[in-house]
Amino acid sequence: MTSPTIESILQENRLFPPPAEFSEQAQLKSLEEYQALYERAKANPEAFWAELAEQELHWFQPWEQILDWQPPHARWFVNGKINISYNCLDRHLTTWRRNKAALIWEGEPGDSRTLTYAQLHREVCQFANVLKGLGIKKGDIVGIYMPMIPEAAIAMLACARIGAPHTVVFGGFSAEALRDRLNDGKAKLVITADGGWRKDAIVPLKEQVDRALNNNSAPSVENVLVVQRTKQNISMQPGRDHWWHDLQQGVSANCPAEPLDSEDMLFILYTSGSTGKPKGVVHTTGGYNLYTHVTTKWIFDLRDTDVYWCTADVGWITGHSYIVYGPLSNGATTLMYEGAPRSSNPGCFWDVIEKYGVTIFYTAPTAIRAFIKMGEHLPNARDLSSLRLLGTVGEPINPEAWIWYHRIIGKERCPIVDTWWQTETGGIMITPIPGAIATKPGSATRPFPGILADVVDLNGNPVPASEGGYLVVRHPWPSMMRTVYGDDDRFRRTYWEHIAPVDGQYLYFAGDGARCDADGYFWVMGRVDDVISVAGHRLGTMEIESALVSHPAVAEAAVVGKPDEVKGEEVVAFVILEDAYLPNEDLDKALKKHVVAEIGALARPGQIRFTDALPKTRSGKIMRRLLRSLAAGEEISGDTSTLEDRSVLDKLREGA
Ligand code: PRX
């Protein structure tokens, strides 16, 4: 087993046509059908999306204009009135789906709960009234810092119902990271839990919230709502902190969904970029509802008999779009799991599939690589015959892992959808349509209808087939991010100016390198900026560097990713100490701990390498390319003529 290498991906030429029995029953049944749809959408994207918006969603008031495109700002379904919580809940209540399972929750240790559409609707309405009771109004931002429990989805849908944008912060982020995000959005309220279960231990979420808010360090936050989950002792600050179950007592379950403008903000979700501060990616209501709805329907080929399980956390975009909004908008049964595979229960995922008869399973390559290590006897001992479709997301999947997934989990029967997209895109952009497009291991295959993806050079010119370039999108799409919260300039610079507009046409720059082969299949190679992916979690190297230099012992730091068999990449930090400090094991540990406290466990450096100097250009820029080679233990190749002091490299090598 090896981690994905460009060489192994480039040599991949196996083709897996959709199984005939799958295609026959699928929503989109053939390549011809996909192609016809693709061409129609390409010829007139606006008409394509408008037709779907009318067919698939409930609107309180129709839009006046499909798209208002003032590059790089798009407004979709202008002046239309809609509510995504209504589309996810209310409209199913007048159908037989009223008593269908909307949310199946498998908790730890051994808890479980199922909510029908009627029950989920009731809980969301009640909780929306609780929010109103705390003075939350349309436009107020609400922080959600929760474990994977139904209340997380309920909170999101309740916010959406009253037009209060949510900002979900992954429960693995530290108090510092939470505080930064709450302050950036000026959140008025935080919803959390006393704790959450993570790998046989309790994550003290409320304690972290207290730390984030102490000494009035997030002054916009007026109230904290706490779900009782783990029941350990926590402190509740009178006046500020309230138990969810106390406030929900006796509250009316009547709360009509607010007719919102298509372009009202639905949520902010923070993600890492090349510079230090995480970006608040802004998504709005109408276009996001439409795009996540249609992509879920066609890519996961939803049927009413499906039990659909996406293993992401709701703290990430995958959880937003493909645990909560996309599946519920379609009236599907979505499964939410609080646990994670761990040494005490390595087969837990397969148990969940067997227990609930999961039919669609969507996970990350890093998880698949971990399963390979745990051994195929674990899935082989479970009944996985309910599965009919598999998916992956978050990073390139190496063909070896793809084949294992196909053979051991899919029993060579289930198509695999390798879905490429980003927090910024809101929904899946490049992917197989499982009944229509033959797959090649390691390729996300073809763009979704309506998505005009391309691979170009820095001048925006398409590169020849199979040559590497930058992945771009040529035409706006409904769920594209609208801006960076509070920093529109950064939005322009990051996504729209990196590649200059060609003939007045703006190209969305994704930050990924890719190539497109002669069959029009896309092969995503990974980030071309200073963003790394550790176990599918996106981290900016600058963020980790800032965390390191905020420690008194650190004078300078440079962080790079090192290829890792399971996690994709591991964080390696090169650190120059202040004069008064000497490198030793305690300091190594202290610095790792410091990064965890500043950002979260996901950013913990796998290795810290103390050094006296870093390789820099004459203009003082750190040459990360060289550091990456050093971290990976490779020979330094390529041009080093711009290096200011060559002896630095020798010293770093010796130090290793
Ligand atoms: O580099 C690409 C990688 O993940 C990045 C987006 O990360 P994030 O915003 O956290 O969203 C992850 C879940 C959508 C992309 O720029 N990525 C995502 N999916 C794939 C991928 N790389 C290759 N293949 C994929 N299927």
Of all protein residues, the one whose alpha carbon is nearest to atom 15 of ligand 1 is: 422
CA angle 314, 318, 323 (to 5 degrees): 60
How far is the centre of ligand 1, averaged over its atoms, from the C-alpha of 287 (Å)?
A: 21
pLDDT at 9: 57
Ligand 1 atom closest to Cα of 444? 26
- List the residue whose alpha carbon is closest to atom 22 of ligand 1: 395
Q: 268, 316, 429, 533: which to mutate for ligand 1, most atoms within 8 A of CB?
A: 533
Question: Does 318 show up as a binding residue in the annotation?
Answer: yes
Sheet with 389-393, strands from edge to edge, namely: 112-116, 101-106, 333-337, 307-310, 360-363, 389-393, 416-419
pLDDT, position 617: 82
Query: Can you tell me which residue has the tokens 């379904």?
Result: 77
Q: What is d(CA 147, CA 314) in angstroms, rounded to the nearest whole number?
A: 8
The kind and range of the H/E element at 93 are: helix 91-93
Annotated ligand binding at 415? The verdict is: no
Residue nearest to atom 23 of ligand 1 (CA): 396
Q: What's the confidence (pLDDT) of residue 7?
A: 53
Give the pLDDT confidence score for residue 11 in this predicted structure.
65
65 CA distance to ligand 1 middle (Å): 31
200 in a labelled binding site: yes
Q: Is 419 labeled as ligand-binding?
A: yes
CA distance 635 to 642: 18
Confirm whether residue 396 is marked as ligand binding: yes
pLDDT for 497 equals 93
Report how far ligand 1's centroid is from the alpha carbon of 394 (Å): 4
CB atoms within 10 A of CB 558: 23
Beta strand pairing call for 333-337 and 101-106? parallel
Distance CA 46, CA 283 (A): 19
CA distances from 71 to 16, 238, 251, 504 (A): 39, 48, 45, 9
How many angstroms separate the CA atoms of 17 and 292, rounded?
26
Residue nearest to atom 14 of ligand 1 (CA): 422
Residue in 170, 421, 602 to alter for ligand 1 test, most ligand atoms within 8 A of Cβ = 421
418 is in an annotated binding site: yes
Is pTM, for the whole model, over 0.85?
Answer: yes
pLDDT at 487: 97
Rounded distance from Cα 513 to ligand 1 centre (Å):
11
Q: Which atom of ligand 1 is nearest to the CA of 424?
A: 9
Q: Is the dihedral of CA 394, 396, 402, 404 positive or negative?
A: negative
Q: Flag residues of the chain having pLDDT under 70.
A: 1-11, 276, 655-656
Q: How far is the CA of 624 from the centre of ligand 1 (A)?
A: 22
Distance of CA 530 from the midpoint of ligand 1 (Å): 14
Q: Are 460 and 442 in contact (CB under 8 A)?
A: no
Q: What is the pLDDT of residues 99-136, one digit of tens each?
A: 999 999 999 988 999 999 999 999 999 999 999 999 99
Nearest to 403 by CA among 376, 374, 383: 376
**Ligand 1 atom 25: the closest Cα is on which residue?**
420
Q: Residue 546: how many CA atoms within 13 Å on its side-chain side?
A: 15
Say which residues have a Cβ less than 8 Å from residue 584's Cβ, sequence separation at least 6.
none
The CA 393 to ligand 1 mean position distance, Å, reads 7
* Residue 422 CA to ligand 1 centre (angstroms): 5
3 state SS of 393:
strand
- Is 565 known as a binding-site position? no
Per the CB < 8 A criterion, the answer to whether 652 and 615 are in contact is yes
The dihedral through the CA atoms of 346, 358, 311, 369 has a sign that is positive
Q: Which residues line ligand 1 (CB under 6 A)?
A: 271, 317-318, 393-396, 418-423, 444, 510-512, 524, 526-527, 538
Question: Which are the contacts of 547, defined by CB distance < 8 A and separation ≥ 6?
Answer: 594, 595, 598, 599, 603
